[in-house]
Chain A
Amino acid sequence: MSIDTAPTTSAAALDATSAAATRRDILHRLLMTLGPILIALVIAGCILLAVGVDPLAYYGFVLEKGLFSPLGIQQTLTRMAPLLFLAAGLIVAFRAGMWNLGGDGQFLLGAVTAAASAPVLVQIMPSWLALTFSFLIAMAVAMIWSLVPALLRAYQGVNEIITTLMMTFLGTSLANVLVKLVFRDPSTTVPQTRTLPVEDRLPRLFETTITSGLLLGLAAIIIVHLVMTRTAFGLKLRIVGANPRAAVHAGLGVSGLTVTVFAISAGLAGLAGAVDIIGVQGNVRADWNPAYGLAVIPAVFLARMNGFAAIGFVFLLSVLSIGGESAARRLGVPNHFTLVLVSIVLIVLALAEYVDHRYNQSRKA
């Protein structure tokens, strides 16, 4: 092999060559990400044409409503807050090699507990303290909810993809039951929790309608990114994710780390629910399930579990979902076309990855 014969040079020279390689690498990454997205837009455009919708008009509405209109961009940024928390939770889990697909159940349970606790707590303590407690309660409940898949995976080796998905069905149903039977607001006929007064919700940013939850979400995902890449704890999780046998060999407590990962991931999903309720919605209506948890997964994958890239993709997802809702109404395209678009992006991206890999292989050979 050629590597065998490469002379061992000093560390400084090694770093100089690798810096150029890193730049090339980033450029390549960028091309491999944006290229497929453009191709996907073209393919989705063809589908729109086939159903008799002008794709340019559709994309135009999406951009106008989701990005360029003042109200639209504010909605987009507000939507980002819960998505960022969910993305942060997924990054922790995916980097540690654990597929927490139970985000929606954890999200809803967090949302319901926040909605149930916040209106009560604000009456007995200062608003900031009450909201903090609500956040903590939501986080704790979501963490407890993740214990079943976490313990099964850590000590019995049960596949967490199945268990978290099953727990998410149970979680959404339980959240509904709680809204209808336990936390139902007695003063309305609509099955929903008591509403947190607007003045007690998270403050809005400046003179806009953007929730300050956005800042919390940004902080969460950046902290998660730094913890995963810069700390010993993050490295331990990444070792478990990249090679569990090496983790055992290196003496890491894999079972304990597994439970921790689930707790952090679910806790962040619970916070996502809380930030959506305390910041924006104010209450939880029965049967409310925005299914953000599953929508965020592709964004995190596209970002390759990089926190900063994930911010960008979550923004894109928000634009698409806010703009897509509006464009769907005006052009008669089903609302779910946003999902079709996102999945086309994913498939094209996977294909591009495969082609790139084959190309690299054949160049090496």
Chain B
Amino acid sequence: MSGSSSSSVAGRDIVALEGVTKRFPGIVANDSVDLSIRPGEVHVLLGENGAGKSTLIGMLSGLQQPDEGRILVDGKPTPITSPRHALALGIGTVFQHMMLVPTLTVAENLLLGGPWWQRPRTEELEARVAEITRSLGITVKLHAKVSELSLGEQQQVEILRAMVRNSRLLILDESTSMLTPKGIDELGALMRRLVEQGLAIVFITHKLKEAAAFGDRISVLKLGRKVGEIPPERFRALGEQAIISEIVELMFGKQKDDPEAVERPVRTVRAEAAPLLQVADLAVAPTDNAPGLSSISFDIRPGEILGIAGIDGNGQKQLAEALAGQRAATSGSVRLEGIAIEALSVGERRRRGLRYLTDDRLGEGTVGTFPVSINFFLKQVGAAPFWRHGVEQRGEIDERAAQLVREYDVRTPSLKTPVARLSGGNIQKVLLARELAEGAKVVIFNKPTYGLDLANTLASRQRIRDTAARGLAVLLISTDLEELLSMCDRVAVIANGAIVGTVENTDDARTRIGRLMIGLAA
């Protein structure tokens, strides 16, 4: 290891990203991101799910190639062509999910990946490990089976593996997500010792507190773009609270020259009108990988848009699914036009006018291999006039589909095109057409503009406004505060599966929502 000469190389980038852009069908995962990674620094990458962190790591570790821009290693433009190449360049990655073989011992895991024609060099490894662990002040049981280690110990093994392979840059992807609070503190201390030896660390997280506690430099990603950076000088000058509030400002705050910012049109909701949707004390049991909901209550009147704000993964999807009937509620009531619907099936709720526009457009919203025309009617299979006595009426289907394609401006080569071949924006238009067609009374939008480009984002927002203007009740779930502020009448904030406060969308709504989101009282 070349750690002792840290001071001489400090200040020069080990790895730098210049204008890196990565696109996936329908989504811009990274939009001209610049990043400089320096030895002796913990560089925190902060962002919500879907902000583009994983894609960025994928490119750094050689799993994916950027579409535009370049990656510089030691100042020289270097395409990182494979994970093996990344390792050879000294870039080691500890992925979110453990990548150790549980049935092998620690030593065997560390020896994996060596040349197959050689005998594993166990003695050499033991000497290396002893040297590294001594300098880091950790102990690793080389001959224990990985399955017998705690998650924190496994993580140390993964870090050790990267060190054994002479990594100069260590990427830790959501490494704290499975650790106990004590484990998290130990990891923080370990990172500190590693950077003191001259290593560079990229630490990915979506937890603000960890970012402030462990970082030297913070870059904030939002919807694929880098929206701000706090350099080390500034980082040291600020206290923890000040850093957190600055991050909140970066993550949720209004940006200058934001083209999406539209003044909220003044809409009058008749306060005396009876609510279309009433939810009282709704609760959902938590599952292995999803938080539950507790005591969710709200009303939405005709023509009103109620926003649900919150950091992603706090129960938004569970709320939408419970309302749509896809997820069983343990208690509470849901009333549509005053009639209880909480015991009804998904199909029956839809027939009564409750529509759910899912955020998972390809995963559950559409059947990707089916033609566009059929995807318009997925939720009406068997209904007249498109099916008569159970037999498909292709003429009726195509006629109505062509009409919807025109009305919602779906850009598709043909009605027969498999829907997965369309861009994200056009798939979203298919879903909008399906959910907003005749009979809708209450519409739940879950992250309706997630992953869309600007034009489609604006078009989708206009659809939602029009929906409310038609006198429908709208529940708008979004992680984009800007979006909520530009469209909603009221905004409820969800945290840990409970609504922690509801704010009228007035001038000071932004700060009050932001405070609620990070757990402070409005």
Q: What residues make up the interface of A, taking CB atoms closer than 8 Å to B?
A: 1, 3-8, 10-11, 14-15, 17-18, 21, 230-233, 235-236, 238-239, 242-243, 245-246, 248-253
Residues of B within 8 A of A8 (CB): 405-406, 409-412
Contact A3 B364 (CB under 8 A): no
* B346 interface contact, C-beta 8 A: yes
**Given known A-B contacts A3-B411, A4-B411, A8-B405, A246 and B378 have beta carbons under 8 A apart:** yes
Residues of A within 8 A of B381 (CB): 232, 235-236, 239, 250, 252
| Residues B352-395 near A (CB distance < 8 A) | 356, 358, 360, 363-370, 374, 378-379, 381-382, 387, 390-392
Residues of B within 8 A of A4 (CB): 411, 423, 425-426
Which 3 residue pairs are nearest across A and B when measured between Cβ atoms?
A251-B346, A251-B347, A11-B402
Contact B392 A235 (CB under 8 A): yes
CB distance from A230 to the nearest CB of B (A): 5
**Which of A3, A5, A17 counts the most chain B CB atoms within 10 A?**
A3
Residues of B within 8 A of A18 (CB): 414-416
A21 vs B417: C-alpha distance when bound (angstroms): 11
CB distance from B123 to the nearest CB of A (A): 44
* B225 interface contact, C-beta 8 A: no
**Nearest CB to that of B387 among chain A residues?**
A232
**Nearest CB to that of A245 among chain B residues?**
B364
Contact A6 B364 (CB under 8 A): no
Residues of B within 8 A of A246 (CB): 363-367, 378
Contact B326 A248 (CB under 8 A): yes
Q: In the complex, which of the residues B379, B406, B413 contacts A3, with contact meaning CB atoms closer than 8 Å?
A: B413
* 12 A-B residue pairings within 8 Å (CB atoms): A3-B412, A11-B398, A11-B399, A14-B414, A17-B413, A18-B415, A21-B414, A231-B391, A245-B364, A248-B326, A250-B346, A252-B381
**Nearest CB to that of A239 among chain B residues?**
B367
Residues of A within 8 A of B415 (CB): 11, 14-15, 18
CB distance from B432 to the nearest CB of A (A): 15
A28 vs B406: C-alpha distance when bound (angstroms): 32
Residues of A within 8 A of B42 (CB): none
**Nearest CB to that of A232 among chain B residues?**
B382
- 10 A-B pairs besides A5-B411, A236-B382 with CB distance below 8 A are A1-B25, A1-B26, A4-B423, A8-B405, A15-B415, A230-B391, A249-B356, A251-B347, A251-B349, A251-B379
A250 vs B416: C-alpha distance when bound (angstroms): 20
**Nearest CB to that of B412 among chain A residues?**
A3
**Nearest CB to that of B351 among chain A residues?**
A251
Residues of B within 8 A of A1 (CB): 25-26, 423
**Nearest CB to that of A235 among chain B residues?**
B381
**Given known A-B contacts A3-B411, A11-B398, A230-B391, A249 and B365 have beta carbons under 8 A apart:** yes
**Nearest CB to that of B402 among chain A residues?**
A11
Residues of A within 8 A of B348 (CB): 251
CB distance from A20 to the nearest CB of B (A): 11
**Nearest CB to that of B324 among chain A residues?**
A249
A155 vs B349: C-alpha distance when bound (angstroms): 23
**Which of A11, A238, A242, A253 counts the most chain B CB atoms within 10 A?**
A11
CB distance from B188 to the nearest CB of A (A): 38
A230 vs B425: C-alpha distance when bound (angstroms): 30
**Given known A-B contacts A3-B422, A18-B414, A236-B382, A245 and B392 have beta carbons under 8 A apart:** no
* B421 interface contact, C-beta 8 A: yes
Contact A243 B364 (CB under 8 A): yes
* B345 interface contact, C-beta 8 A: yes
Residues of B within 8 A of A5 (CB): 411
CB distance from A182 to the nearest CB of B (A): 40
**Given known A-B contacts A11-B398, A231-B392, A251-B325, A239 and B378 have beta carbons under 8 A apart:** yes
Residues of A within 8 A of B368 (CB): 242-243
**Nearest CB to that of A240 among chain B residues?**
B367
Contact A251 B345 (CB under 8 A): yes
* B350 interface contact, C-beta 8 A: yes
Contact B364 A232 (CB under 8 A): no
A233 vs B342: C-alpha distance when bound (angstroms): 27
CB distance from B345 to the nearest CB of A (A): 6
**Nearest CB to that of A22 among chain B residues?**
B416
A253 vs B382: C-alpha distance when bound (angstroms): 14
Contact A242 B414 (CB under 8 A): no
Contact B426 A3 (CB under 8 A): yes
Residues of B within 8 A of A245 (CB): 360, 363-364
CB distance from A177 to the nearest CB of B (A): 41
Residues of B within 8 A of A239 (CB): 367, 370, 378, 381
Residues of B within 8 A of A232 (CB): 381-382, 387, 390-392
**Given known A-B contacts A8-B409, A242-B369, A250 and B414 have beta carbons under 8 A apart:** no
Q: In the complex, which of the residues A14, A230, A248 contacts B364, with contact meaning CB atoms closer than 8 Å?
A: A248
Contact A251 B350 (CB under 8 A): yes
CB distance from B332 to the nearest CB of A (A): 21
| Residues B471-506 near A (CB distance < 8 A) | none
CB distance from B444 to the nearest CB of A (A): 12
A251 vs B49: C-alpha distance when bound (angstroms): 28
A239 vs B406: C-alpha distance when bound (angstroms): 25
Residues of B within 8 A of A6 (CB): 411-413
**Nearest CB to that of B456 among chain A residues?**
A4
Contact A233 B423 (CB under 8 A): no
Residues of A within 8 A of B422 (CB): 3
CB distance from B397 to the nearest CB of A (A): 10
Residues of A within 8 A of B402 (CB): 10-11, 14
**Nearest CB to that of B369 among chain A residues?**
A242
Contact B25 A230 (CB under 8 A): no
A307 vs B326: C-alpha distance when bound (angstroms): 34
Type the 1/0 row for B406-450, where 1 means its CB is closer than 8 Å to any CB of A: 100111111110000111011000000000000000000000000
A248 vs B326: C-alpha distance when bound (angstroms): 7
CB distance from A63 to the nearest CB of B (A): 38
CB distance from B339 to the nearest CB of A (A): 18
Residues of A within 8 A of B413 (CB): 3, 6, 14, 17
